[in-house]
Structure formats: structure tokens, C-alpha cells
Amino acid sequence: MVKIENEKERQTYYGALNLEGKEFILAPYKAGKVENTVDFLKKLIQSNPERKILIIWDGASYHAGEEMSKFLTEQNQGLSPKDWQITCHKFARYAPEENPVEAIWLQLKNLLRRFYWLAKNFRVVKRLFEFFAKFQLFNFPNLKKYDAFSQFI
């Protein structure tokens, strides 16, 4: 019998796009879990203490649940919805084309494919990905459709 080890190395990233400042925020985590989602949101709040934050994301299971509800309730406790510090909405189901962060992920992955010859190991792949993200070596998706007046005719 021949034992085959097929261990995949993985890295999970949480990303957010500041539409106003055209800044992409990236944070590495071991996995996509509710605890990590809450931690990421706390970091966004800490780095934007005086601002209201609107999160629009996909329907991943770790974007919902009891722990997320508890966190949002604690953050916004006693405030009317218009005064909430953080508000979360979901994109339509199965519509990654609506999510500008998905467009950025795709561009970053394509950059990795173009520079595959530099990726000698997984550690280098992660560093390249983070480098491309940090220095925003991608084109921002069409952000005009998220503009405050995008729905006016």
C-alpha cells in the first residue's frame, strides 16, 4: 500500500472596498468563520471610528448567524437604523458580478497566474497576492454603479 498525502495549503482572505477613498482592505485569516467575520468587522470599525459603515456581501454562511446578529445588535444598540455604526446587506444570490470585491479577487488571481514562475512555494504565493493587493495592482471595478445617484434616472 502506498500512502498518498494530498495536503492542500490554503489561505483565506477577507476583503473590503472603501468606495469613497478607493482603498482595498485585505486581512488574512485561517478560515472563513463567523468569529473571523466579526473580528474583521471590528477592525474596520477601529480603523473608521467616526464613520458609518455599510457592508454589502454575499450569502456565505459566515456572514450570518447568531454570533453576527449579536455583534451587530451590540454595535448598534439603542440607535435608530439611520444612526447605526454598521449596517449589513446581502447581494442577490448567485450574483458575483454585482460584488466589486469579487472582481478584485479575480484580477489578483489572474496576476498570480501571470507571475506563476515566481511562485516557488505557497509562502511566496501568499506574499505575491498580498503585495498585489497592498499596492492595488489591479483596476478598480466599475464603481459608478455603486454611486449614491446610480439609481436616479
CA–CA distance, 92 with 98 (Å, rounded to integer): 8
- Mean pLDDT, residues 122-146 taken together: 89
Contact 32, 63 (CB under 8 A): no
Q: Is the pLDDT of residue 152 over 70?
A: no
CATH number for 12-145: choose from 3.30.420.10, 3.30.365.10, 3.40.50.12140, 3.10.20.30. 3.30.420.10
3-state secondary structure the chain: CCCCCCCCCCCEEEEEEECCCCEEEEEEECCCCHHHHHHHHHHHHHHCCCCCEEEEECCCHHHCCHHHHHHHHHHHCCCCHHHCCEEEEECCCCCHHHCHHHHHHHHHHHHHHHCHHHCCCHHHHHHHHHHHHHCCCCCCCCHHHHCCCCCCC
CA–CA distance, 121 with 128 (Å, rounded to integer): 11
pLDDT at 71: 96
pLDDT at 6: 54
On average, the pLDDT of the chain sits at: 88
pLDDT single digits (tens) 113-123 = 999 899 889 99
The domain spans of the chain are 12-145
Q: Kind of pairing, strands 23-29 and 12-18?
A: antiparallel
pLDDT single digits (tens) 74-116 = 999 989 999 999 999 988 877 778 888 999 999 999 999 999 8
Q: Is the pLDDT of residue 32 over 70?
A: yes
45 confidence band (pLDDT: 50, 70, 90): very high
Q: Is the pLDDT of residue 19 over 90?
A: no
Q: Is the pLDDT of residue 153 over 50?
A: no
Q: Is the pLDDT of residue 3 over 90?
A: no
